[in-house]
Amino acid sequence: MKRLASYGAVAETEYNVMATHPADQPSSKDIIQECEDVIHTYQGPLLGYAGKLLQDPVAAQDAVQEAFVRYIRYRMRNGQAIQKAGSWLYRVTYNIVMDAMRKQQRWYNVQKHVAEGKEEANDGSIPEDNIIKKEVNYIAWELLNELSEREQQIVILKVIERKSYRDIAEIMEISVGNVGFILHTAMKKLSKRMKQRLNSYDEA
């Protein structure tokens, strides 16, 4: 993860690239401080959010780092503070994560979990309940991947990140009512598919 000094260098470079600066625009020092404050506030939550999506801490750091760089560039070139910076950063981070996952053609590191499952299954010291719990968690993530991207993001923001409906509406740029409807529909799908999957295992 970039240090704040590195982000400051990005901000300074972007500021200097601009040929002219509006008379009412803050100095580069003030804007850099503003960007650093935003990074301090959102770095932890965004790393957790990206980490839940990617299941890869290194990839999550890369995604959040790219989001902050885009924030700084947008801030410098736009000349105005970004309203609702948190919502803006969540949207950008999500888009970066989705692009990365599409390129790598994966939602979850299946090979890793299959390997871990085999190791646990062959190790008598691991309680069977733990193996079953891990399998159920894997199925849940697999089923989540079957939802639309919008449904996935809303479920993660609400269930895992515990965001309010209003916060989710701002991040997704939709109404609070739509958040509730999409979340309700997505959770019904997940519940139905989970029951079907578990029943199929019982019958096997």
CATH number at 110-203: 1.10.10.10
Q: Residue 11: what pLDDT?
A: 55
The CA-CA-CA angle for residues 197, 48, 153, to 5°, reads 50
| Tens digits of residue pLDDT in 25-83 | 566 677 778 888 998 999 999 999 898 888 788 989 999 999 999 998 888 777 777 88
**Sequence spans of domains, the chain:** 4-104, 110-203
Count of beta carbons in the 10 Å neighbourhood of residue 145: 12
Report the predicted TM-score, pTM, of the whole model to 2 decimal places: 0.64
Nearest CA to 134 out of 153, 121, 151 is that of 121
Which CATH code is given to the segment(s) 4-104? 1.10.1740
Top pLDDT among 81 and 152 is at 152
Eight-state DSSP code of residue 195 = H
